[in-house]
Chains A and B, each alone.
Chain A
Amino acid sequence: AQSVTQLDSHVSVSEGTPVLLRCNYSSSYSPSLFWYVQHPNKGLQLLLKYTSAATLVKGINGFEAEFKKSETSFHLTKPSAHMSDAAEYFCVVSGDTDKLIFGTGTRLQVFP
């Protein structure tokens, strides 16, 4: 069975500073991992995905994530936060059941 844990429910940063959203996963199989973003009153948008190719994955809007099998982690980072990055972020795993399992989400606040 697969599961995903987002270690922080809220993260606050100042504009221009780095962003780190943490995600740990559990999977019996080689997982596919994703990060989605949800802006208020909007649907989810795929930021990036890992599907057993390069361990460092680059996504849209300057985000990237690194798959670390030894640490079972898939943390999302961005070098410099922008006000428009304020949203809820979901770490997602897909494994042997072909279902997407969503984490509980991390709300990112960006202060000017």
Chain B
Amino acid sequence: KAGVTQTPRYLIKTRGQQVTLSCSPISGHRSVSWYQQTPGQGLQFLFEYFSETQRNKGNFPGRFSGRQFSNSRSEMNVSTLELGDSALYLCASSLGLAGVSHFYEQYFGPGTRLTVT
């Protein structure tokens, strides 16, 4: 079974531009989560989508948005890029929503490394 794929793997953008990152989950997985990883802030949760609906959101400004399509593929968009947006963006897919009483293992993709200059 193919793993989680993310495209592109590397991206260089300038301040003020916008960017769209793509994530294809494992076949059959309906939940997709996005994370930002930086040396200073570590791994931070951005949002989670399940059945095309955003189910959970982290503490990021509105410049960060996402969506999920009917085939469970997901995109995240960052508008008006800032230098601080430089990071590794990780996508993870799972069969269901991560929750307190039952946890569906999240499978991570290799990430998209975004550099903002």
Residues of A whose CB lies within 8 Å of any CB of B are 29-30, 32, 34, 41-46, 49, 51, 90, 94-105
Contacts and interface: CB of A to CB of B under 8 A. Distances in A.
Contacts of A101: 45
B98 A94 contact: yes
B90 interface: yes
Contact of B42 (A32, A43, A95, A104): A104
Interface string B5-35: 0000000000000000000000000000101
Q: Chain A's interface: helix, strand, loop or mixed, by majority?
A: loop
Given A32-B103, A43-B108, A49-B103, A98 B98 contact: yes
A69 B63 CA distance: 39
Contacts, number: 59
29 contacts: A29-B100, A41-B110, A42-B110, A43-B4, A43-B111, A44-B92, A44-B108, A45-B108, A46-B105, A49-B103, A49-B105, A94-B99, A94-B103, A95-B100, A97-B56, A98-B55, A98-B97, A98-B99, A98-B100, A99-B56, A99-B98, A100-B33, A100-B45, A100-B106, A101-B45, A102-B35, A102-B43, A102-B44, A105-B42
